[in-house]
Amino acid sequence: MAIYQGPIFDADNHYYEAHDAFTRHVPRRMQSRCVEWVELAGGRKYQVVGGKIDRSGNPTFNPISKPGVLREYFGGNPNGVSSSELIRSSLEPMPPEYMDREARIERMDAQGLAGAWLFPTLGVLYEEPLKKDVDALCTTFGAFNQWLDEDWGLTYKDRIFSSPYITLADVDWACEQLEWALARDARILVMRPSAVYTRSGPRNPGHKTFDPFWARVNEAGITVVAHIGATRHDTNGYDTRSIDPLGLGPRPSVTNFHRARNINDFLASMIFDRLFERFPNLRIASVENGAEFLGDLFRSLGHTKDRVRGYFKEDPVDTFREHVFINPFWEDDIAEVVAHMGADRVILGSDWPHMEGLENPRDILEELDGVAAADREKILYRNAAGLNERRPR
């Protein structure tokens, strides 16, 4: 295990949403188009998203899997135990720190965390099923962000930093939410790594349509996080009737590759659209998307620069390294990621308390043996703490 005694800023923590997180502030006239609850035969409760029942998970979160129970599975599964067996064996009643900020602060003290970014659990899944109804999409997440501020606070005791969810589907709405978040001392915003589905059709995230939003982000110096979320999975005709992007099913599927494809395309499109040339103060953090895509992406950016001479003002790989920060999975080769990005552009997170993350955030030290001792403080604390500070232009 790597030796490190300094502070840790966890760049990937999660809460579990309260029962009314998606309903508390939605106007009654819009509820049937947004998110509702339904109880089916047998008493099981599900959420209805955009008029369709979502049966993919357990939105009541009770019982819930213990953190890190799938580490053995993602670490190579040496004992050949199925993911479903590991999950079933770990179920427990909902601990208070998963849903209550005071209890979370106490747990962070016990874990030795100086600070943490908190992201949604269900919230990153609901833009996809709502994308064809932009009014419902914006209503849902405007209400969700209001719930988040009430229950968690966007900045709480200078330890917990929760992220309002932003969709660019309506750029005026996105700008209004940005101003709302800035007024409440938000340090980060979160969006999914996907094309943006607007009323006029899909657009790249760096399309000039969205310049009013990116211009204000650039001016305010707030960090935008691209966090894994549900997206439209382009399967190229392959049989993927059971969409399983985490790779937890009984058989492999090409959907297992979607995380890398989504973040690769999202970040590459920002480079190709020259977003960072227009807005040089932007900082984008990729969280919970892994890092295996980096080598291929850098090679592709190099080929593109050679083939389209004069298009970029500077080397696109250098632009990427200047503006993008990468949070690798704990099971990635973190030393290799540091070699790709530089130690100043890598941030670490535990995904706590999710089952595919770490049992304890400090367990990440077990994955850092190949990282130079001089770089550990940067990737465990300083880089994320720096992103957590606004850097106004």
Overall number of domains in the chain: 1
* pLDDT of 55: 86
In a domain, 200, yes or no: yes
List beta partners, residue 113.
8
* pLDDT of 364: 96
Name the strand (E) or helix (H) holding 11: strand 8-14
Q: Is the pLDDT of residue 368 over 70?
A: yes
* pLDDT of 58: 87
In a domain, 3, yes or no: no
Domain CATH for 164: 3.20.20.140
In a domain, 369, yes or no: yes
Look up the pTM and report it. 0.95
* pLDDT of 241: 54
pLDDT digits (tens, 9 = 90+) for 266-319: 999 999 999 999 999 999 999 999 999 999 999 999 999 999 999 999 999 999
Sign of torsion over alpha carbons 17, 160, 190, 246: negative
In a domain, 54, yes or no: no
- DSSP 8-state class, residue 63: S
In a domain, 251, yes or no: yes
In a domain, 137, yes or no: yes
**Distance (Å) of CA 251 to CA 23, 82, 115, 331, 342:** 36, 11, 38, 20, 36
pLDDT digits (tens, 9 = 90+) for 115-125: 999 999 999 99
In a domain, 27, yes or no: no
Interacting residues of 180 by C-beta distance below 8 A, sequence separation 6+: 145, 164
In a domain, 205, yes or no: yes
Q: What percent of the chain clears pLDDT 70, i.e. is strictly above it? A: 94
**Distance (Å) of CA 175 to CA 93, 122, 168, 255:** 39, 23, 9, 33
DSSP class per residue in 137-186: HHHHHHHHHHHHHHHT-SEETTTEEE--B---SSHHHHHHHHHHHHHTT-
What is the CA angle 77-246-79, rounded to 5?
10
The residue range of the domain holding 103 is 8-15+95-387
**231 in Cβ contact with 258 (< 8 Å):** yes
Which amino acid appears at position 286 of this protein? S
* pLDDT of 246: 60
Angle (deg, nearest 10), helices 211-220 and 171-183? 20
The residue-averaged pLDDT of 85-100 equals 94
Strands 8-14 and 113-119, sheet pairing: parallel
pLDDT digits (tens, 9 = 90+) for 212-263: 999 999 999 999 999 999 887 655 556 555 555 565 666 666 767 777 889 9
pLDDT digits (tens, 9 = 90+) for 6-60: 999 999 999 999 999 999 999 999 999 999 999 998 889 999 999 999 987 789 9
List beta partners, residue 14.
119
